[in-house]
């Protein structure tokens, strides 16, 4: 399997949002990373290929470490600076 070119972003999110993502993980039989990054990548117009792996429901904390394409990280950082 080819190594994916991804970088990390630490995200703090409201627990209600994480619970909704957790339900989507179960419904799609996917991973929280694939679902969250897919949503962000679409929003910022960045290509993202989900891993296709199955994951277990995430824990209860509001902190998530996402693995994202470098271009998405750059755009997220840019958006954070201008907010």
What's the pLDDT tens digit per position in 18-44? 999 999 999 999 999 999 999 999 999
- 9 vs 65: CA distance, rounded Å: 6
Asked if the model's pLDDT at residue 2 lies above 60, the reply is no
Contact between 27 and 35 under an 8 Å Cβ cutoff? The reply is no
Asked if the model's pLDDT at residue 77 lies above 70, the reply is yes
Question: What is the full DSSP assignment across 10-44?
Answer: EEE--HHHHHHHHHHHHHHT--HHHHHHHHHHHHH
- 34 vs 50: CA distance, rounded Å: 5
């Amino acid at each position: 399997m080819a190594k994916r070119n991804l970088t990390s972003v630490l995200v703090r999110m409201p627990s209600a949002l994480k619970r909704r993502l957790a339900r989507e993980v179960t419904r799609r039989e996917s991973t929280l990373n694939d679902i969250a990054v897919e949503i962000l990548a679409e929003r910022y117009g960045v290509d993202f290929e989900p891993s296709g792996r199955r994951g277990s429901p995430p824990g209860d904390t509001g902190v998530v470490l996402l693995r994202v394409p470098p271009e998405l990280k750059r755009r997220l950082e840019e958006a954070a600076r201008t907010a």
